[in-house]
Structure 1
Amino acid sequence: EAQSAKASVGAAPDREAILATVDAFFLALAAGDADTIEGLAGDRTLSVAIRADATTPPRYGDLSELVARIRGGAAAKVVEPYWSPTVMQRAGLAIVWAPYEVSAGGKLIHCGIDQFTLSRHADGWKIDAVAYTAEPDACGELRPADRSAMRPEFPEGAGQ
C-alpha cells in the first residue's frame, strides 16, 4: 500500500493549469504588470532568494514587496524563461521546480533554479511561495541544448 501511495504523489493531473499559472507570472513580470502578479499570488506569498555564495544567508520577503516596487517604477522588467519543469501535485497542492535564466534589457543577469509552491482555489491555481537560487556562473551548466524548450513564449520586446 505504501508503494501505491508513493507512486501517486508525483502524478500531476493539473500539470498544464499549474504551468499556465507559472507562465502567466513570468509574462506579467516581463510586462511590469503588478495587477496580474497580485492576482496570481496568495495573500501572503513568500519569496526566498538563495545566492550561489554559501556564506550569504537566504533573503526572505513576499511578493507584495515586488508588486509595490513594480507599481512605484522601481522594479526592472525582466525576462525569465524556464525549462524542463518538474511538476508534483497532491490534491490542491503543487510544486514546480525548474532551471531558469533571467535577463533585463537584453543582458543576462544569472541562471538558477526556481521553485514554486501553488494551491488550488475556486478560481484556479495561486502561487503561495517562490524560492530561487541566483547562480551567475551556472548558466552553462543549466541551459538546455535546445532553447526552444524554454517557456513561456515572450512577446517581441518583452522586458524592455
Structure 2
Amino acid sequence: MPLIFALALAAQMSPMTTPVQPLPKGTGLPPPATEEAQVMAPVTVLLNGIAARDAVAIGEALRPDASATIATEQAGASTITHKTRAELLARFTPGPERFQERLGDPAIEIDGDIAMVWGPYTFLIDGKVHHCGYDHFDLVRENGRWKIQNLTWSSRTTGCEG
C-alpha cells in the first residue's frame, strides 16, 4: 500500500507535458541554414533588386528562360499579362521613385529540385501603397543553386494594407 501511495504522489508531482504541434507554414522566414532559406535566397535577391531598381541584380535570381504572369484586377475587370524575362527586366530602370515590395509570411514548399514560394505582398512607391496581391514563385535547383523559373502575381489597388 505505501508503494501505491508513493507512485500516486510522484505522478501528481511530475510535470505533465502537452504535445506541441508544429508551427504552420508561412509564419516567418526560415533559419539561414535550412533548405527553405536556400529557396528564399533568390526571392530575396529579386526583392532587393526591385528596391534598387536594378535589372541586372533581378536577372541574377532568374533562370535564362524565366517568365512572368500578372493577373491585374481593376474596376471589376481582370486581365492576364505574360512577360518574357527581357520584358520583365525592362520594367526596372533607374528612376527617382523608391520601390519597395514587402512579402509577408511566405509559404515554402519543396520537392526535390522544384520549389514554390507563395505569399501576400504590398508594393510601395515612395513609401505609399501602390498595389498589393499575392506573389507566387516557381523555382528550380540546377547545379546546386536555386533560380526562379516563373513569377506569377496578382495586382489590385483595393484592400491593401500599408
User: If the length of structure 1 is used for normalisation, what is the TM-score?
Assistant: 0.71
Mean Cα displacement is larger for which, 45-54 or 97-106? 45-54
Structure 1 position 32 matched with structure 2 position 53 = yes
- Matching of residues 50-129 of structure 1 within 5 Å: 50-53=71-74, 55-71=77-93, 73=94, 77-122=98-143, 124-129=145-150
CA distance in 2, matches of 1:66, 1:133: 15
- 1:59-108 residue CA offsets vs partner (Å, 9 max, x unmatched): 1112321323435x479652001111111111100010000000112221
CA distance in 1, matches of 2:95, 2:144: 30
CA distance in 1, matches of 2:106, 2:36: 10
Asked which structure has the greater CA Rg, the reply is 2
Q: What RMSD over aligned residues (CA atoms) do the two structures have, in Å?
A: 2.4
Q: Which residue pairs with 2:42 in the alignment? A: 21
Tell me, yes or no, if the aligned pair for 1:49 and 1:60 is still in contact at 8 Å.
Answer: yes
- 1:100-140 residue CA offsets vs partner (Å, 9 max, x unmatched): 00011222101110000000022511011001111211224
CA distance in 1, matches of 2:41, 2:88: 20
- What is the percentage of aligned positions where both structures have the same residue? 24
- 1:135-157 residue CA offsets vs partner (Å, 9 max, x unmatched): 211224xx7xxxxxxxxxxxxxx
Q: State the number of aligned residues.
A: 130
Tell me, yes or no, if the aligned pair for 1:112 and 1:138 is still in contact at 8 Å.
Answer: no
Amino acid in structure 1 at the alignment position of 2:158: D
CA distance in 2, matches of 1:106, 1:24: 20
CA distance in 1, matches of 2:44, 2:105: 13
Amino acid in structure 2 at the alignment position of 1:63: R
CA distance in 2, matches of 1:76, 1:31: 10
